Amino acid sequence: MVEPFDEYIDQFAITAGVYGISLNFRRSGPKPVAPGSMPPTDDVGTIRMSLEHFKIMTFLMKRNMDEIEGQLGVEIPLPFQVLNGLKIAPEEWQKFWQRSR
């Protein structure tokens, strides 16, 4: 039997292949590091699933986020530096988060 876990994460990596996908979750260390150096991370866990499951999960997460923002009456912003660091163009980000009316 697999033990359920309840963890906080602040980093993740996605690895995809033709048969499935792995989501690798990590948590950064509690202590500050010198500027320009990589902070140490702890591996929290890996979740593996089919590509189909990942696609529907992505859809459901976006729909839930749209509902949360609608219920709270807020739009949760992300700093430009975060998008830039992930190589996400602002127009790509806006297009993804457009709500269908």
- What is the tens place of the pLDDT at every residue in 76-88? 999 999 999 999 9
Give the C-alpha separation, 35 to 71, whole Å. Answer: 39
Quick one: tokens of 39? 């902070």
Domain interval for residue 33: 1-49
The answer on pLDDT for 99 being more than 80 is no
What is the enclosing helix (H) or strand (E) of 63?
helix 51-72
Residues 3 and 41 in one domain: yes
Q: What is the pLDDT of residues 39-63, one digit of tens each?
A: 889 999 999 999 999 999 999 999 9
Judgement on whether residues 36 and 57 belong to the same structural domain of the protein: no
Same domain, 100 and 55: yes
φ/ψ of residue 89, rounded to 5:
-70, 140
Question: What is the three-class DSSP state of 41?
Answer: strand
pLDDT of residue 1: 85
Model confidence at 100, pLDDT cuts 50, 70, 90, reads: low
Cβ 83 vs Cβ 91: under 8 Å: no
